Amino acid sequence: MQPNLILEDTIYTLEQLQEIEVPQIALAGRSNVGKSSLINALAGRKNLARISSTPGKTQSINFYKVEPWQYYLVDLPGYGYAKVSKADRQKWAELINQYLISTPGLKALAVLIDSRVPPQQIDIELTSYARQIDLPLIPILTKCDKCKQRERDAKQNEWAKLLGGIRPIMSSASSGLGLDKIWHAFAEHAMD
């Protein structure tokens, strides 16, 4: 059954952050990696989450309720975009960090990684941080329609090594590759 996603809440500041106990899976990744596109693809809808070719589009935390399973998918602001002002970047980093450490319902962090570029320092830092705070990781390689099978296999192996054996799920919001596996991984963690 295709789950349904409903936008429940959007927050912009630390003050709006609540300690939500509802089980949730957060999606993080560099700006432009394809977080919002993946949410739309998972929902089977075009315009649920706003997509842009301009990085830094999602500057808020968006909570989507997954029906009928009663957990949230949480779209976090993208990080690491150079053209965003330092003050804004810091504000977002703080918001994400606070969310990660103060959400009792947080079950796992899906880290989205661009399949076309070498592992980036900032992605490695985030995944190490998640492991430090014992937050289960669901690594996902995005935009796999854009690279050759051999290339994405190599990327998957490279990341598996970096993550101590966890293999990223290959995905594409365009072709639908990996969507079933992703739903499966989310449900497994959200309803453990």
Site residues, ligand GTP (CB under 6 A): 29, 31-37, 51-53, 55-58, 78, 142-143, 145-146, 172-174
CA distance 140 to 127: 12
Residue ranges that bind Mg ion, judged by CB under 5 A: 35-36, 58
3-class secondary structure, 186: helix
Long-range contacts of 53-59 (CB under 8 A, 24+ apart): 55/31, 55/81, 55/83, 56/31, 56/81, 56/83, 56/84, 57/31, 59/12, 59/88, 59/92
Task: CB nearer to ligand GTP: give 95 or 173.
Answer: 173
Least separation in angstroms between residue 117's CB and ligand GTP is 13
Q: Which does 172 bind (CB under 5 to 8 A by kind): ligand GTP, Mg ion, none?
A: ligand GTP
Beta-carbon contacts of residue 184 (< 8 Å; ≥ 6 apart): none
Q: Which helix (H) or strand (E) holds 42?
A: helix 35-43
Q: Which does 143 bind (CB under 5 to 8 A by kind): ligand GTP, Mg ion, none?
A: ligand GTP
Task: CB nearer to Mg ion: give 77 or 178.
Answer: 77
Q: Which does 156 bind (CB under 5 to 8 A by kind): ligand GTP, Mg ion, none?
A: none
CA distance 28 to 39: 12
Least separation in angstroms between residue 36's CB and Mg ion is 3
Least separation in angstroms between residue 1's CB and ligand GTP is 23
> Which position's Cβ is nearest ligand GTP?
78
Question: How many angstroms from the chain centroid is the CA of residue 150?
Answer: 24
Nearest alpha carbon to residue 4 among 35, 32, 31, 40? 40
Q: Which does 52 bind (CB under 5 to 8 A by kind): Mg ion, ligand GTP, none?
A: ligand GTP
Task: CB nearer to Mg ion: give 36 or 103.
Answer: 36
